[in-house]
Structure 1
Amino acid sequence: MADPLAGMPPLANRGKRLVARIIDALLIGVPLGVIMYFAFGGFGYNANLRSFWQDLVYGLVYFAYDGYMLTTRGQTVGKMAMRIRVAMLDNGATPVGSPGWTRAAVYALPPIVPCCGSVFWLVNVVWCLWDRPYHQCLHDKAAKTVVVEATR
């Protein structure tokens, strides 16, 4: 069986992947946090489901951002800054359409589910620490993608 990564750039370093996610989380989280602060009158995380609605809005906005960027460019702003990209495992192409949106959904939407959603999200993102040979997180496995060094 041929290696699907043959002819593709090398897999991205896990540290670069982490920094890219931090950049994206700040890019979305800071402006959205300011908007949410004024919309909800503060950051009360134990007041009348306010936290749930804030988490829901953040999850949906991050899903839309991640899905759009992956399906159109194969990279988010954070991935561009770190010079990495998402590629289809079978051919290295940009995850256009369903794969990009599936990857974004499995990453961004589980924390919306109270309690167990955050546990799934944590398992999802640390999965790449022991996954072999492609260092995939669960959102990569769901979409059949890998994260590789960007050649552009």
Structure 2
Amino acid sequence: MSTDQPEQPPDDDPFRKRPPEPGAQPPPYPGAAAGGGGASFGAPDPLAGMPPLASRFKRLIARIVDGLLVSIPVSAVFYGAYWGHHPWNDQGRSTGLGIIISVVYFVYEGLMLTSRGQTVGKMLMKIRVGMLENGAIPAGTPGWTRAAVYSLPQIVPCCGFVFWLVNVLWCTWDEPYHQCLHDKAAKTVVVSAVH
């Protein structure tokens, strides 16, 4: 006797998609620590379908590269402009240079993130910044917010460096997305740029 229904795969077929069992925890996003779920129970994981999270080591190397890329030329121009002429004492000149580097870094990072999702350091490390919601380039406000929260607090006397240090170390204990405070402010995440 023939039926018009398609043949069903056997129950032991490993490629058969089965609906999740009631009450089952969704699988963790790619790159998540073993046993850690990336999303709240029942909520879709924002990183589903995105590349794995970037390693903290690659993020550090990218920041070092970007820091050198900005600070060396700015410092050279700054000291070249005042060679032999000291209108400020050493402390004032050092503070002025720090403020200029922070502002230039803010502009550099804001422009790079809003247009490419990567700085030069991130390109070298093959990582990128994406919106946590969908992985898109943080164009506009999110890219500039991320750059501002990273760079501009350093110009605040006395406590700016402390905030910056807490900000960049935050990703070492943040779960599940390893976000720094500047990522949280912009709702971004750093992921691998290659699949």
TM-score w.r.t. the length of structure 2 is 0.74
Q: How does 1:29-48 map to 2 (within 5 A)?
A: 29-41=71-83, 47=90
CA distance in structure 1 between the aligned counterparts of 2:83 and 2:160, rounded to whole angstroms: 26
The answer for the alignment partner of 1:51 in structure 2 is 94
Is 1:63 matched up with 2:106? yes
TM-score w.r.t. the length of structure 1 is 0.94
Stretches of structure 1 that go unaligned for 5 or more consecutive residues are none
Is 1:122 matched up with 2:165? yes
> Which structure carries more helix by proportion?
1
CA distance in structure 1 between the aligned counterparts of 2:124 and 2:170, rounded to whole angstroms: 23
Cα–Cα, structure 1 residues 128 and 46, in superposed 2: closer, same or farther, change >3 Å?
Answer: farther
Which is greater in Rg? 2
Cα–Cα, structure 1 residues 33 and 134, in superposed 2: closer, same or farther, change >3 Å?
Answer: same
Task: Number of aligned residue pairs: give it.
Answer: 151
The answer for the alignment partner of 1:2 in structure 2 is 44
Cα–Cα, structure 1 residues 116 and 49, in superposed 2: closer, same or farther, change >3 Å?
Answer: same
The answer for the alignment partner of 1:142 in structure 2 is 185
CA distance in structure 2 between the aligned counterparts of 1:40 and 1:128, rounded to whole angstroms: 39
- Secondary structure of the residue aligned to 1:2 is coil
CA distance in structure 2 between the aligned counterparts of 1:9 and 1:41, rounded to whole angstroms: 48
* Residue of structure 1 aligned with 2:146, choices 76, 93, 103: 103
Report 1 or 2 for greater relative contact order, CA contacts < 8 Å, sequence distance ≥ 6: 1
Q: Does structure 2 conserve the Cα–Cα contact (< 8 Å) formed by 1:40 and 1:50? A: no
- Secondary structure of the residue aligned to 1:93 is coil
Give the superposition deviation at 1:93: 0.1
